[in-house]
Amino acid sequence: MRIAKQYSAYILFVFLVQLGSIAYGQTNEQKALETRREQLLKEIEDINRLLFAEKKQKGTVLDQMEVLDQKINVRQQLIRVTNQQANLLSRQINANIRNISKLREDLEALKEEYAKMIQKSYQNRSQQSRLMFLLSSENFYQAFKRLQYMKQYTQFRKEQGEDIVRKTEELTQLNNDLTNQRKEKEVLLADNLKAKGELMGEIKAQKELLKSIRQNESKYASAIKNKRQEARKIEQQIERLIRSAIAASNKKAGKSGTSNKFVLTPEATLVANNFSANKGKLIWPVEKGIKQQGFGIYKDAVYPGIKHQSNGVIIATDEGARARAVFEGEVIAILAVPGGNKGVQIKHGNFISTYYNLSNLYVKKGDKVSLKEELGEIYTNRYNGLTQLKFYLYRDATRLNPEEWIYRL
């Protein structure tokens, strides 16, 4: 009996461990999906607030098309994540149904076994029977073994009763979980249905905008040309100022000749090493905002055959927001693009961060700045209502992708 009991307990333990491992893994996956879903919902909220308000519909068709395309993309991601959550809940519900069935079988078997023990115990319930059972032993050793057996049998009855209570509680908990999971799935399916309806509305708006653009392609082409020219003017000045800063720094260090790299002092090397060690962990150059345009080559929202090049990132933020230093450093240049706005360049060892599209500056060339120090107020375009910071990152004269350096950009 003891061996059978130990074997049953072992099988039960293995089953519960496996069940717990599966549940733990699914819980982590569900948490990760819920976190991602909340991020996407927040991103859609920010797009609506920062890029898609009614007052911002006066922007160029290029602005409207890019914003609408971004919103549709995020909405599609939200629908995919919500579908994944619903599918995971379906798997958890099916697993719980199987587990409930298994627990019910175990519970019935335990109750049946416990009933037999109670019946047998009742038949031998008298103290005299137990005493006679001990006194009829042939020797002291047999009496001792019989006493041990009686103790084990009593303990086994107690454990069987506790097993029944525990399994009953597990069954109740699984039933509650099943009810909650079904409610969660219903909510997710309703949310997804709503998101799909909103997506259809956005796709319809995009088609209508596409139709209006194709009726006046010259206006759209002109907007693209102006945007490219403006970006190129900014980038040419950024790179010219970087080359000038490298030449001036190296001359001061006693190094003449043409070079595309800074000659670093021990102090500047320490700052550069610290900056490099924080790759992927640097703070955003604004306190709150969303990435409106990423780094690299991307397709045109209207004509996918047309490619655009972005050498930095554009971050949309609230009106009145200020740009802030992503790391400690020194202001090495102030940008002032003719017909444009202002910018600040900060040197971090041999890394340079650039913050452009500022209306008011709070720093000047030569200032030492600390992490999170405010550099200036970001310009708000009165024509389209957008408040956008253009952020660039270089190592010496080499462009870097800010998305690889700023945390979750």
| Same domain assignment for residues 210 and 259 | no
| Same domain assignment for residues 183 and 51 | yes
| Same domain assignment for residues 205 and 259 | no
| Same domain assignment for residues 267 and 210 | no
Does residue 227 lie in a domain region?
A: no
Does residue 226 lie in a domain region?
A: no
Token code pair at residue 65: 């098309």
* Low-confidence spans in the chain with pLDDT less than 70: 1-26, 51-60, 110, 114-138, 140-144, 146-147, 149-165, 167-168, 257
| Same domain assignment for residues 45 and 188 | yes
Does residue 232 lie in a domain region?
A: no
SS (H, E, C) the chain: CHHHHHHHHHHHHHHHHHHHHHHHHHHHHHHHHHHHHHHHHHHHHHHHHHHCCHHHHHCCHHHHHHHHHHHHHHHHHHHHHHHHHHHHHHHHHHHHHHHHHHHHHHHHHHHHHHHHHHHHHHHCCCHHHHHHHHHCCCCHHHHHHHHHHHHHHHHHHHHHHHHHHHHHHHHHHHHHHHHHHHHHHHHHHHHHHHHHHHHHHHHHHHHHHHHHHHCCHHHHHHHHHHHHHHHHHHHHHHHHHHHHHHHHHHHHCCCCCCCCCCCCCHHHHHHHHHHHHCCCCECCCCCCCEEEECCEEEECCCCCCCEEEECCEEEECCCCCEEECCCCEEEEEEEECCCCCEEEEEEECCEEEEEEEEEEECCCCCCEECCCCEEEEECECCCCCCEEEEEEEEECCEEECHHHCECCC
CA angle 345, 350, 354 (to 5 degrees): 20
Does residue 92 lie in a domain region?
A: yes
Domain boundary among 184, 214, 244: 214
| Same domain assignment for residues 266 and 136 | no
Domain hosting 106: range is: 2-214
For 93-120, write each residue's pLDDT tens digit.
887 777 777 777 777 776 777 666 666 6
Does residue 157 lie in a domain region?
A: yes
CATH number of 284's domain: 2.70.70.10
| Same domain assignment for residues 269 and 199 | no
| Same domain assignment for residues 199 and 281 | no
| Same domain assignment for residues 205 and 261 | no
Domain boundary among 189, 214, 239: 214
For the chain, the domain total comes to 2
Does residue 409 lie in a domain region?
A: no
| Same domain assignment for residues 350 and 291 | yes
Does residue 17 lie in a domain region?
A: yes
| Same domain assignment for residues 191 and 306 | no
| Same domain assignment for residues 94 and 199 | yes
Q: Residue 329's pLDDT is what? A: 96
Does residue 231 lie in a domain region?
A: no
Residues 6 or more apart from 56 whose CB is under 8 A from it? Answer: 63, 67, 384, 385, 386
